[in-house]
Amino acid sequence: MNDLRQLRHFVALADHGHFARAAEAVHLSQPALSRSIQALESGLGCTLVDRHSRGISLTAHGQLVLEHARRLLAGSQALSNAVSQLGNLASGELRLGSGPYPAARLVPQAIGQFAQRYPQVRVDLQIDNWQQLRTRLLNDQLELFVADIRELHEDPQLRVEALRRHPGVLFCRPQHPLRQHARPLQSGELQAYALAGTQLPQTVADALQHLGGGQALSIQCDNFMVLKELVSSSDVLSMAPWDVIAHDVQAGRLALLQLSELPLASSAYGIVSRAGHSLSPAAEQLLQLLREQDRDSEIPDLPSP
């Protein structure tokens, strides 16, 4: 346990870049933190930090140790959670991730059900693109995530479970100038307007190239709530799976644009965890709730062109 404490102190120092701020974060005096770091350096037989007047910087050894320290600490927390939850789900933490589109509907619905059943379990949700979520999963910072799985299917380190598909749609504000046309639009008519979206899998980005005049996206943002606000308050266009904007379209907050030549790719959500690794009881329960929400949730029908 002493080693783990030293690793926690080292990670805090690396995160804060300054002994005084790191000492405050881990509730130690500055001399005590300094002694802990020195003991860690002595035990490893290398210098981890260079000390200077403005704070610290990590040495090459320090960068390497930091990477492994984060992984060891995350694994220790995962073990503690699994053991504490084995008898019941009255404690512990669940760390999961979500891509921007599942985070707009499916994931919060499942978390809401989970929180009603297990209010004592702390849930830490991280929203990011599938690439960053994969890295965090393999570093033991997440137990599972829900995101686009188009580029993850062949990864032997991952266990991937595909979820329901939803058609892709192009949307805008109801008063958008392009809504004056009663006919489906040609792709060239869209090029006068900025196109916004989340980070796209390469296959989807390639299919959208000519919508933006050779550029897939004018604005990239992995926060879908920001994208919806951007579209509803300007002439910016965006695309999304139908399920995440269906109720906004039904309520008149957003509107769809019909394309004559390019059907947008459908969603490809999936639940991703590490291959060969068991999930904690909390993660298993959330996994089941995600499946139920995906199967049973009612989504308005996509309007006919």
Q: Which tens digits make up the pLDDT trace of 44-70?
A: 888 988 888 778 889 988 888 888 888
Q: Is residue 303 in a domain?
A: no
Q: Is residue 79 in a domain?
A: no
Of 73, 94, 117, which one is at a domain's C-terminal end?
Answer: 73
Q: The domain containing residue 151 runs over which residues?
A: 86-165+268-296
Q: Which candidate, 14, 280, 291, 269, places its Cα nearest to that of 133?
A: 269
pLDDT at residue 185 in the model: 81
Q: Which candidate, 125, 128, 134, 136, places its Cα nearest to that of 67?
A: 136
Query: Domain count of the chain?
Result: 3
Contacts 24+ apart (CB under 8 A), 117-120: 117/89, 117/285, 118/89, 118/90, 118/282, 118/285, 120/89, 120/90, 120/91
Instruction: Work out the pLDDT band at 277, boundaries 50, 70, 90.
Output: confident
- Tell me how far the alpha carbon of residue 111 is from its chain's centroid: 14
Question: Do 272 and 160 reside in the same domain of the chain?
Answer: yes
Q: Is residue 237 in a domain?
A: yes
Of 51, 73, 95, which one is at a domain's C-terminal end?
Answer: 73
pTM over 0.85: no
Q: Is residue 301 in a domain?
A: no
Phi first, then psi: what are they for 171, rounded to 5°? -135, 165
To the nearest whole number, what is the mean pLDDT of the chain?
Answer: 87
Question: Do 93 and 64 reside in the same domain of the chain?
Answer: no
CATH number for the domain that contains residue 92: 3.40.190.10
Question: Do 155 and 19 reside in the same domain of the chain?
Answer: no
Q: Is residue 157 in a domain?
A: yes
Question: Do 67 and 106 reside in the same domain of the chain?
Answer: no
